[in-house]
Structure 1
Amino acid sequence: MGMNLSSDETLPCRWAPAEDALYRAYHDHEWGVPEYDPRALWEKLQLDGMQAGLSWITILRKRDAIREEFDSFIPEQIAMWDQERIEKALSNPGIIRSPAKIKATIGNARAFLDMQEKGEDFSEWLWSFTGGAPIVNQLREITEVPAKTPLSEEIAKALKARGFKFCGPVIVYAFMQAVGMVNDHETRCPRHGEIQELHS
């Protein structure tokens, strides 16, 4: 084929429709970019947990409101939430008003801080499962993307052992894709190569 690629062979991933500006911007600038900041990784895991049973675009559209309600996802603040603070959050129509998910986020903040107190850096710990670098997959079609993998099952089990909730293997795999632990952009998508170059 050489340089004579048709436009169809260099299009972004099919799940990011051009007509949805928010979704496309997320695909073009965030999804799959390796994230190494421990707090940012923790935030993304909470957002993926909130997605359980919902579509990601629902979370994306509410993300700013969720961040505002959840104290910018600062674990030290969320870990101190009491029932009164939970009730305040439940009254906010801009977030996912699930008592179970809110309580899980509080517990997950405490689990994050417990790891920190024991000298375990959340980022280093997570990335150790992939040897510190992204796993680069070669997916031609979004339909080839698995819902979970043996590695996501291993990480989910390890998270649960540390007290985390709403982090099953399917949620964990979506998280791994989002934070660049795996590069699951379709091979025809320009972002597949661009993200690889970040680690070349």
Structure 2
Amino acid sequence: MKRNIVILISGGGSNMAAIVRTAQQENWEQRYGARVAAVLSNQADAAGLLLAREQGIATGALDHRAFASREAFDAALAAAIDRHQPALVLLAGFMRILTPDFVARYAGRLINIHPSLLPAFTGLHTHQRAIDAGCRFAGATVHQVTAALDAGPILDQAVVPVLPGDTAQTLAARVLSQEHLLYPRAVRALVRAL
């Protein structure tokens, strides 16, 4: 039984690349019947699409600006995703807020990674907000997506220290290095449980 994974990106796709690399190194297809079947983006020039194509993964792009409404875009995106019969849909730097209908369609199998220790610092500018709040620790969270922004059940987290003199950029880099370990670990646990 195939457990297809579809990953949605908007940019460079470093978390997507970490998942693909881990899946290949750990032979998820043979061990769990799981494979990254497709990488889709709302940006045709997203660098992550090239990375995926180089790995022989199907890719596609849908420009959200070409649609009259958020609902119309999400319907087209869902049709593109469903062609790959996904067991999991992973958001990996996909910079779109999804409609409740889209989220409901993939309930329980729509997963996101967020660069904070949720429930703290939902939304954007998480690293600067953590520094401004005087946090001693920051990190990343993998969670199920619900209609409420960054509020779904937490699946896994990684913690990093906030160091004296940190900027949003230095903290972001430290968190991202942990995201590349955290997201594949969380996805592995999910595919093993499918």
- For the criterion TM > 0.5, the same-fold answer is no
| Bigger helix share | 1
Larger radius of gyration between Structure 1 and Structure 2 = 1
What is the TM-score when the length of structure 2 is the normalising length? 0.28
| Bigger strand share | 2
What is the TM-score when the length of structure 1 is the normalising length? 0.28
